[in-house]
A = this chain, B = another copy of it.
């Protein structure tokens, strides 16, 4: 992981819309692909074209955080990767706990995208005695009753909730009480957390609805005989 040599965003608190943060992740992935493909530099138009955004959008998004381009060169890929990781807070490892080792939990334990981006799944928890004490992907599954103790001993900062909807708020409260700073919730329910804890809800049907909106919209446009196309694509 390279460090940014452009003006560092590191110490500046920034207030930007969540959608911009989401696009930073997309830029980061694309830059990583470019580097893997042997590219040392890129441009807002190349990045934008690969992701379906205008070059103005790319420049505007990055301008929230500083000035990253170089005249006559564009962006240096590894420098911009370092800068975005610094902005996203992923210029260091984060220790993550998973609660709920059903099908989705098992998929999350095996999801390589986490470790590639600096997330380390350091512990898993379940309430099922048949699972407690076993290992999956080298991660031991602990009794949920020991959550607080193990989170403290393993210095875990983030929690993934993959339990049924009816259990999610209880698990969230336990994670908050154990001191995690952020929660990603895969249960289809809206959680209440204190202001000082960050949360993101992942609702997989929501992704499908983005697609059906576009498809339905395209059918409507076709019926009307006009329209400019699809506005919901996002990667």
Contact = CB atoms under 8 A, between A and B. Distances in A.
Contacts of A201: 234-235
Contact residues on A (Cβ < 8 Å of other chain), bracket: 35 or more
A158 B235 CA distance: 17
A130 interface: no
A204 B111 CA distance: 8
Interface of A: 10-19, 21-22, 24-26, 28-30, 33, 50-51, 87-90, 94, 96, 102-104, 106-114, 116-117, 119, 157-158, 160, 181-185, 188-191, 195-196, 198-218, 220-221, 223-224, 226-235
A28 B208 CA distance: 14
A13 B160 CA distance: 38
A217 B14 contact: yes
A87 B232 CA distance: 13
Given A204-B114, A226-B13, A25 B220 contact: no
Contacts of A196: 218
Contacts of A96: 208
A2 to B, nearest CB: 18
Most chain B C-beta atoms within 10 Å of own C-beta, residue among A102, A191, A211, A228? A211
A90 to B, nearest CB: 6
Contacts of A189: 33
Nearest to A112: B188
A18 B234 contact: yes
A111 B208 CA distance: 13
Given A50-B190, A89-B215, 16 more contacts: A13-B217, A14-B220, A15-B231, A18-B233, A30-B190, A89-B216, A112-B188, A113-B188, A114-B208, A117-B208, A119-B208, A184-B211, A185-B235, A190-B235, A199-B211, A199-B233
Most chain B C-beta atoms within 10 Å of own C-beta, residue among A24, A181, A185, A205? A205
Given A234-B200, A234-B201, A220 B13 contact: yes
Most chain B C-beta atoms within 10 Å of own C-beta, residue among A89, A183, A202, A234? A89
